Structure 1
């Protein structure tokens, strides 16, 4: 293409990707005027005019209105600023479409009514403050008159869903399900009943105390992660590294009850870990025939949905933990003196 050559409107249209009528319209509105006229009075366009026509076509495909394009061509704004603004618009539209898709997929899956569709749209459109209030209302209701150690419910409520500014469809679907459950009185009652049954007996109240919860979710959890890393790396349970970690774990666990880590305590811990798979299977069998709310359908469902929303890994599957390996490491630890 020659820099000084002039091209008829048909060529300008073809080279810019527009129709002849569109090129004529932009000329008539003064947006992109022709460079000149030929002897027959027909409109002619040079390279610069064709390049601007091509830019107009691109911006129109991005739904840029003619007023914004005119300001750009007249020097009232820069292309960078215009594209930045439109990127923000497209991203907002994308988030809106993603939210709608999540609602539609959930409705199709559940086969819900028009009223439920309206509710789901409101759920995904909640502000951060409204989401926080929904969660607080849920835990306030669940914790009312719950006979568990002081501070236990407050610890549970610290695990909260935080929907990111640009959530995925899966995160939105998880939030819709969770928000719907949080507002459901039957779900609240089921969670309250589960927590009451699981942590109010003399045998289990200790599990809900602050020291034990701190051990389970902070210090003890960190040591278990170290043991898992060593197991996955192929460490022998009797290796110095595994022995050091498992000893620290046993010392921290024994300290919960103020018991020194003696050989007897070490052996009881090892035996306990060897029995865990059988205990878990027995619990699962009992839950399968029990009419009482179970973890996976109550608090466990809350925890798993929060993990999906927050984009964090779900808790390690109990069945996949190397209990036998940990028990062997415990048994192999050097005898400890009281």
Structure 2
């Protein structure tokens, strides 16, 4: 186009495209809509291609691309498809973050959380998946440090790292609350020590040999029924329950030893850890049983007197 009469002033370009003059001027100064030339008075002039280019810039900006990326597209340093793929990934990350924050806010309204809880929940929501996983990995590393990786039960370390790589696409308030509770739990020194005792005891050779004097299923069946019926662990009725679980002839010392060993591996907080991991991984909930074993431990000790 050589006829300067066919060129458009910035005002005419604004009228043709519906874009504000100040926006066109800004983009022109940024180099994405360069003028074709200048009028005798020094005013910018644009050709018809500038209107097409302006529409593309507006579309790319509406999609959230920054001006540096727009310049690359216009200069053919990258394709629109390449930019779109990267932008989709970035948007997916933003969407997941917003969904998690929405779940946090829902949980705050439902729980009527304190300011401290809300701050912690928001902090958890802002953590990346890698940072959340590191939090769990650090806890597991401390718990299992120095234990025998070949010992029976050593696979528990792998299971305890089982945080989902990413939060669910649309986390529920329960999952947001699980993040909060899990963060508190793994930072609790008492919980860390209890989990550590389990790990050390589980890797000890003496605990890998010799059968247990009772069957876990029997504990759940008989002790579970006693708990449901409100039987006191120190009662004669409880003694009869214990004798259905262990050999009635089992010596008092063996009963106390079995109670001590069972207590080492019985902790409601550890059970809660698995429950929270299940919530975050979307697993079906399981029935808590730690309270049943607590009753059995107390009844087993009482039967040793």
Shorter-chain TM-score bucket reads 0.5 to 0.7
- The answer as to whether partners of 1:71 and 1:77 remain within 8 angstroms in 2 is yes
Offset of residue 74 of structure 1: 1.9
User: Which of 273, 294, 304 is the matching residue for 1:302?
Assistant: 273
CA distance in 1, matches of 2:194, 2:137: 21
SS at match of 1:298: helix
Map 1:100-179 to 2 at 5 A: 109=111, 110-113=113-116, 117=120, 120-121=123-124, 124-125=127-128, 126=131, 128-138=133-143, 151-152=152-153, 154=154, 156-160=156-160, 161-165=162-166, 167-168=168-169, 169-170=171-172, 171=175, 173-179=177-183
Conserved? CA contact 1:138–1:182, under 8 Å:
no
- CA deviations on 1:251-295 (whole Å, 9 max, x unpaired) are xxxxxxxxxxxxxxxxxxxxx9xx95x9746424649999x9xx8
CA gap of 1:57–1:119, structure 2 versus 1, over 3 A, is: closer
Classify 1:35/1:173 alpha carbon distance in 2 versus 1 (closer, same or farther; 3 Å). farther
Q: Structure 2: where are the runs of 5+ without partners?
A: 1-5, 202-210, 235-262, 290-305
TM, length-normalised to structure 1: 0.48
Partner of 2:286: 315
Q: Give the equivalent residue in structure 2 for 1:257.
A: none
RMSD of the TM alignment (CA)? 5.4
User: Could you tell me how far 1:79 is from its partner in structure 2?
Assistant: 1.1
**Any stretches of 5+ residues in structure 1 without a counterpart?**
144-149, 213-271, 319-338
SS in 2 for 1:21: helix
Aligned length: 234
Distance 2:224 2:84 in 1: 58
The aligned runs of 1:137-286 (5 Å cut-off) are 137-138=142-143, 151-152=152-153, 154=154, 156-160=156-160, 161-165=162-166, 167-168=168-169, 169-170=171-172, 171=175, 173-188=177-192, 204=214, 206-207=215-216, 280=224, 282-284=226-228, 286=230
Secondary structure at the aligned position of 1:72 is classed as helix
CA distance in 2, matches of 1:162, 1:311: 11
Shift in alpha-carbon separation, 1:191–1:57, aligned structure 2, 3 A: same
TM-score, scaled relative to structure 2: 0.53
Q: Is the 8 A contact 2:39 2:45 kept in 1?
A: yes
